[in-house]
Each structure stands twice: as structure tokens, then as C-alpha cells.
Chains A and B, each alone.
Chain A
């Protein structure tokens, strides 16, 4: 009989398992960092990207610049994908094990603050004299009453990126009104070109330009009423808007595979010249800059509606999801000091310039220096934001409502875009969420 017929005895198996475990222990031991106290203060920064260095170079650069200027402070940067990140934070909040500083959705931060899990940053900002460096809307956005629960992280400047070459090649002039956009869509659709590139797969929130359109139908004035029930989401103004979105769908403006396409794929469609417009924001400027379409880029605030309500010349230029600080930091004087230093550094002109160098607009009132050729995409976006007469709403509509309502809004808009919901049904979806929220 050859060896094959003789199975290893159980004892042999047990021994080899022990050996494997020992080897595993050895592997884990090597390379483990030694954290010695020796006067350095360590603070944790938890972000919404697992690989911050690659996905969020601006933050990574600011952190390393900060550590260089403050050798006694070590910032441990960690992160995970947005969904996992928020999940972790919810669980951590309940057990009081939140990271020191972290990125979080505004509505979640508001709830956490009400539950007493966050540090009130009002005294911190007063002490660091930072209040004046922010636009007033930012402060209002992140406060309930006198408590400030969040500080800006990066800007949320959204709009439609434009590939001017595609428009020119097809004899379309840059649209200004909604009707012009629909006409352009019909022409482009006839040529098999996607007009507006977006993707709903795991990125239901990627309806930025349509959220801005809500403000072109009086959302800002209606939001209070929507929340307390005196105004219904199923009002005529919104019905008009959603009917317009349906018009765009009929004109063939959207890709046929919107529901299976992710946001990244939508960006890719645009950067490879297959789509005329991209529904995104300034954060895509780096990707666009390094692509082949960079020389033909413009940034458009979105269409104006002849039957709109209120100010039409608006562009969404507000603060995005904020940083929040764990309330336990307030009990640790060393940590508190380190956090204060970090925030002071983050909003200094030097750090804001780092933001700009990495393709992000500044969040303070700092006026940055932008290289017109190297950063043409970013410049296009910033110019659109500061062009004469344009105003910005207070905040993006989905940031003013609780999470379930925001998700319902995304679903409602994408529902119409994908032809799954009639405009009326879409509005009712959101109204249902609003009603449930009030219970």
C-alpha cells in the first residue's frame, strides 16, 4: 500500500494545527506598531474612505502637514466605505466608543448631538476665532440653537459638468433654460449619446442637480412646512418639476442602464467622452482634469425654469457633510488641545490652499490661487460659483430633512428618471416618508 491510503492520524492533524496557529501568531506579531506615550498625544480621525491617501488626498495632505507642524501630536487616520462607516459610527455612538474626530452625515450628526454624543464646538470656534472665517450659512447649517455640532470638511459645490466638444460637434449651443436642455437631449439621443450621465446603483444620492432644481421650485421656503406637515410634498410646484424630469426621460436624456450603473461608471462614461453632461460636483474635478476630456470642460449651474418658483439663478455651493467631535474629548484636556490645534490648522489659509491644490474648493472665506491651466476644471467650477449675480441656497435639500426622508427623495427622483414611478407616485413616496417621520 502506498502512503496515500494511510490517512494522517488525528494527533498529526492536531500538531500541525498548533504549528499553523503558532506561525500565525508570529506573523501578526511582526510589524505591530509600538505606541509609546513619551509626551505625544494621539487623536483618531475616521473618514468615509478606506484608503484616504488615494481617495481623499486633500485630507491626507492636510494631516501630514499638520503633523509636521505639530510633532507632539499624532493623528491616526482610518476609514471605511461610506455605508460601513456610518454603520460603525451608529454602533459606536450607542456604546460611547466614537472616534475623536470623524466625518458623518449632517442629519446623523444632528441626532447624535441631540443624544449628547458630540462635543459642542461653539466654545471651541469662539476660542479659535474661527466663526468669521466661515460663511454665515455654514455655521447655521451645523447648529441647533446655540450648539454647533459640526464643522465643515469640504465644500459641496454641485452642478452639471459639460463636455463642450460634444455639444459643438452636434450643433448645440450651451443650454441655459430647461427647454433648451430638453431640445439638446432629443438631438443627442438621436445620435446615441447620453445627455446626462448618472448612476443609481448603490449611489441613490447622486441626483445633485435635481436637488438643486428643487430649490428652483421653492424648496427652501417650503421645507419648514414640509417637516411640520403644513405643506405637502405633493404640491403643484414639485409636481411641475417632477413632470419636467419625466420629460427629460422621454427625450432620452438618461442612459438606458441607469439602474445598474454605479456613480463611478457614470463618471467614466463622461470622462471617456460618451456623455455630454455629468451630474456631479467639484469633487470630480481631479478625475476630470486627468482625463482626455479636460480641455473641453465647462461647469454649469443647471437649467433655469420658466415656470419655476423664486430665484432661478442659483448654484449649490454649500458645506458638505461635516466633521464632528466625540463628546469624551471634552473630558481629556490633552486631547482637547490637540483637537483644537487640528481644527485651527485645518481652517488656516495654508491648509485651505492644500485643499485647493488637491482639487477641492476652500470651505472658509479664503480666496485661493488656482492655476488656470493645471486646474482648469476646478477653476471652471469655482468661476461658476462666483459668477456675477449667482446665489447659493442655504443648504442642499436632502441635508435639511431626516435620513429616511432624504432617501425617499433620492428614490423619488431616480424613480422618475428610470421610468419606475410616475411623477405623482414619486411625490407620494416622499410624502409617505414625511408623514412617517412626524409620528
Chain B
């Protein structure tokens, strides 16, 4: 590769993406980051207050509640979503009539507007008029506060998130499975390993990058969940079911506290990046140890 890697060619290849990304993503983040040190309403003159917003953030019980909710969603979603999407991808790799159509349909929830995702699931999860509780009550069981209560909201949000993202994750796994060099798999089965052993000891290790990709995507997407929560519960009751971004939206646009909102946004970005990087580092270390 050294013959094509001249300085000039490198620059040519990298420049457009770097320029676009820096101008429209990095610069805005820095710009907003600067505002996080001010007291600002969105218009008028910002007032410099140093770390005041960050101090407020750490003392804000609603922030910690939102963080806790986000972490719960993270743990629950990752635990269920990744295996499920992978299993679905494996399932649909078999020769099934119309598997293309099935894959498209499973991808459907990822496409539908978040407004409607929230709306439909409210009709299912609402403690009083929702389908789920009506079903439970006819069976003689007590109604469960899936949303609108104190504890279960993050779990319910996870379920909705999993539902809407499984097609997305499955598609990436599917593409990854397709790129596997199958002579290794063939060799394993010739050697007499069962399909489960092939899966565990051959396929999955070869899909490491794919798993990493899906996990990082899901982590960052979970940190960015907003519309789902907003439609399901409005963040309530009294901010008890907020996620990080939905609380940031409330602070920035509903409360017009732009400076504080930007501090929240910076913290969210850093958290998302740190958790993803942490995951990457952990999986690198495991790979090296193996």
C-alpha cells in the first residue's frame, strides 16, 4: 500500500470528510460548548458565568434521575437487543421463501416517525387504556404502571427502543455475516463440529468488528434517545422518566435556559463518547488477552 500512500493522496482522500465534519459538527459543538459557560436565553446577550452551569448540573436531582434512567435503558437494551438481532440475522440467512421481504418488514419499525412510535406504544402501555393492562385485567391480574409510574418507565422505554432498533441492528449483522469467508466455516464443519460449536467458536469471533459496530451504535443511540420518551411520558411525571437528551431538550427549549442546556449537551456528548471508547478499550484488551 505504500506506493499509493503519498502525502498528497492521503490529504486528498481525507480532506473532504474532515472539512465537512469539522465545520458542521465539531465547530458547532465547540460553539455550543462556549455557551455552556454562560447564562443565555437563546437571544439577547449571554452572561459569562464560568462553571456555574456545571455546578448546577451536578446539584440537579433531575439530571441524576435522567442519567439513572439512561443507564437502565442502556443495560436492558444492550442485554436483549444484541443477541436478538444477531439471532434474527442468523435465522434469516437460511433459505426461507421471502426472506428479503421479511428483512424489510423487520426494518419497518426503524423507519416509522418517532411521533408515531410513541403514540402507538402509549396505546399499548398506558396504565389505564393500554392494550397490555386491559389484557392483564381480563386475566384477573393487577394493572401494571408500565409508563407514568415511578420505576418501570425506563424498562418500557427500553422495550420500545429494542422494538424500533432490532431491524437496524439485524441489517448490520446480516451484512457482516455475508462478508464472512465461509471456507473457514466449511472447514470447521468438515472437521465435525456441530452448528452450535461452529457458531460459538468460529463465526462469532470472526464477527468481532461487526459486534463492536452494532454495540457502539446502540450505545450512542441510547444516549441520544429523545422522541420516544417525549411521546410516551413527556418526561414525566415531574421529570421522573426523563432521559439525558429529553431533559436537555426541556431545559434548553422549554425552559429557555440555553446556557445550562448546552452544559447538559456537552456532558451527554462526553458521556456517550467515553462509554463507547471504554467499550472499545475493553474489547481490545480482551482480544489481546485471548
Query: Is any CB of A less than 8 Å from a CB of B in the complex?
Result: yes
For residue A140, give the distance in angstroms from its CB to the closest CB of chain B: 23
B43, B126, B232, B234, most chain A CB atoms within 10 A: B43
Among the listed stretches B71-79, B184-192, B213-221, B236-244, which one makes contact with chain A, having 4 or more residues with CB under 8 Å of it?
Answer: B236-244
B-chain residues with CB within 8 Å of residue A94 when the two chains form the complex: 42-43
Residue A53, interface by CB 8 Å: no
Pick the contact of B237: A87, A407, A418, A436 (CB < 8 A): A418
Residue of B nearest to A269 (CB): B129
Residue B256, interface by CB 8 Å: yes
List A residues 42-78 near B (Cβ within 8 Å): none
B-chain residues with CB within 8 Å of residue A439 when the two chains form the complex: 39
List A residues 203-234 near B (Cβ within 8 Å): 203-204
Residue A256, interface by CB 8 Å: yes
Asked if B255 contacts A257 (CB within 8 A), the reply is: no
Pick the contact of B253: A87, A420, A436 (CB < 8 A): A87
Given contacts A90-B42, A94-B42, A420-B238, contact A256 B128 (CB under 8 A): yes
List B residues 217-257 near A (Cβ within 8 Å): 230-234, 236-240, 250, 253-257
Pick the contact of B128: A83, A200, A255, A415 (CB < 8 A): A255
Measured in the bound complex, the distance between the Cα atoms of B231 and A262 in whole Å is: 9
Among the listed stretches A110-118, A235-243, A351-359, which one makes contact with chain B, having 4 or more residues with CB under 8 Å of it?
Answer: A110-118
For residue A77, give the distance in angstroms from its CB to the closest CB of chain B: 23
B-chain residues with CB within 8 Å of residue A404 when the two chains form the complex: 255-257
Residue B147, interface by CB 8 Å: yes
For residue A306, give the distance in angstroms from its CB to the closest CB of chain B: 29
Asked if B43 contacts A415 (CB within 8 A), the reply is: no
List B residues 95-129 near A (Cβ within 8 Å): 122, 125-129
Asked if B127 contacts A201 (CB within 8 A), the reply is: no
Residue A259, interface by CB 8 Å: yes
Residue of A nearest to B129 (CB): A257
Measured in the bound complex, the distance between the Cα atoms of B40 and A90 in whole Å is: 11
Range for the number of chain B residues in contact with chain A: 20 to 34
Residue B32, interface by CB 8 Å: no
A204, A421, A439, most chain B CB atoms within 10 A: A204
Measured in the bound complex, the distance between the Cα atoms of B254 and A256 in whole Å is: 26
Residue A202, interface by CB 8 Å: yes
User: A-facing mask of B140-170, CB < 8 A → 1, else 0?
Assistant: 0000000111100000000000000000000
B-chain residues with CB within 8 Å of residue A258 when the two chains form the complex: 148, 237
Residue A22, interface by CB 8 Å: no
Given contacts A200-B237, A255-B128, A259-B237, contact A407 B255 (CB under 8 A): yes
B-chain residues with CB within 8 Å of residue A293 when the two chains form the complex: none
Given contacts A83-B253, A403-B255, contact A90 B43 (CB under 8 A): yes
Pick the contact of A411: B44, B122, B231, B238 (CB < 8 A): B238
A-chain residues with CB within 8 Å of residue B234 when the two chains form the complex: 200-204, 259, 262
Asked if A259 contacts B43 (CB within 8 A), the reply is: no
Residue of A nearest to B52 (CB): A439
Given contacts A112-B43, A117-B43, contact A90 B255 (CB under 8 A): no
Residue B41, interface by CB 8 Å: yes
Residue B287, interface by CB 8 Å: no
For residue B130, give the distance in angstroms from its CB to the closest CB of chain A: 8
Residue of B nearest to A413 (CB): B238
Asked if A111 contacts B233 (CB within 8 A), the reply is: no
Count A-B pairs with CB separation below 8 Å. 95
B-chain residues with CB within 8 Å of residue A411 when the two chains form the complex: 238-239
A-chain residues with CB within 8 Å of residue B236 when the two chains form the complex: 200-201, 204, 259, 414, 418
A-chain residues with CB within 8 Å of residue B253 when the two chains form the complex: 83, 86-87, 90
Residue A108, interface by CB 8 Å: yes
Classify the secondary structure of B's interface with A: loop
Residue A399, interface by CB 8 Å: no
A-chain residues with CB within 8 Å of residue B43 when the two chains form the complex: 90, 93-94, 111-112, 115, 117
User: B-facing mask of A399-439, CB < 8 A → 1, else 0?
Assistant: 00001100100010011001011000000000000001001
Residue A260, interface by CB 8 Å: yes
Asked if B126 contacts A260 (CB within 8 A), the reply is: yes
A-chain residues with CB within 8 Å of residue B255 when the two chains form the complex: 403-404, 407
B-chain residues with CB within 8 Å of residue A420 when the two chains form the complex: 150, 237-238, 240
For residue B177, give the distance in angstroms from its CB to the closest CB of chain A: 18
Given contacts A260-B232, A407-B254, contact A414 B238 (CB under 8 A): yes
Measured in the bound complex, the distance between the Cα atoms of B246 and A201 in whole Å is: 13
Residue A390, interface by CB 8 Å: no
Measured in the bound complex, the distance between the Cα atoms of B43 and A114 in whole Å is: 10
Residue A91, interface by CB 8 Å: yes
Asked if B254 contacts A260 (CB within 8 A), the reply is: no
Given contacts A111-B43, A256-B127, A259-B233, contact A403 B256 (CB under 8 A): yes
User: B-facing mask of A93-129, CB < 8 A → 1, else 0?
Assistant: 1100000000000001001101101000000000000
For residue B98, give the distance in angstroms from its CB to the closest CB of chain A: 15
For residue A190, give the distance in angstroms from its CB to the closest CB of chain B: 17
Asked if A115 contacts B45 (CB within 8 A), the reply is: yes
List B residues 1-18 near A (Cβ within 8 Å): none
Asked if B147 contacts A260 (CB within 8 A), the reply is: yes
Asked if A83 contacts B254 (CB within 8 A), the reply is: yes
Measured in the bound complex, the distance between the Cα atoms of B232 and A228 in whole Å is: 37
Measured in the bound complex, the distance between the Cα atoms of B239 and A421 in whole Å is: 11
For residue B48, give the distance in angstroms from its CB to the closest CB of chain A: 13
Asked if B148 contacts A257 (CB within 8 A), the reply is: yes
Asked if A91 contacts B42 (CB within 8 A), the reply is: yes
Q: Mind listing 21 A-B residue pairs with CB under 8 Å? A: A83-B254, A86-B253, A90-B258, A94-B42, A94-B43, A111-B256, A112-B44, A115-B43, A115-B44, A200-B236, A202-B230, A257-B128, A258-B148, A259-B147, A259-B234, A403-B256, A411-B238, A411-B239, A418-B237, A418-B238, A420-B237
Q: Kindly list the 9 A-B residue pairs having the minimum CB-CB distance in the complex, ordered from nearest.
A: A90-B42, A257-B128, A259-B148, A115-B44, A93-B43, A260-B148, A259-B237, A201-B234, A415-B238
Residues in chain A within 8 A of chain B (CB atoms): 83, 86-87, 90-91, 93-94, 108, 111-112, 114-115, 117, 200-204, 255-262, 403-404, 407, 411, 414-415, 418, 420-421, 436, 439
Residues in chain B within 8 A of chain A (CB atoms): 39, 41-45, 56, 122, 125-129, 147-150, 230-234, 236-240, 250, 253-258
Given contacts A202-B230, A403-B255, A418-B237, 18 further A-B pairs with CB under 8 A are A83-B254, A90-B256, A94-B42, A94-B43, A111-B43, A201-B233, A202-B231, A204-B234, A204-B236, A257-B126, A258-B148, A259-B148, A259-B234, A259-B236, A415-B237, A415-B238, A418-B236, A436-B56
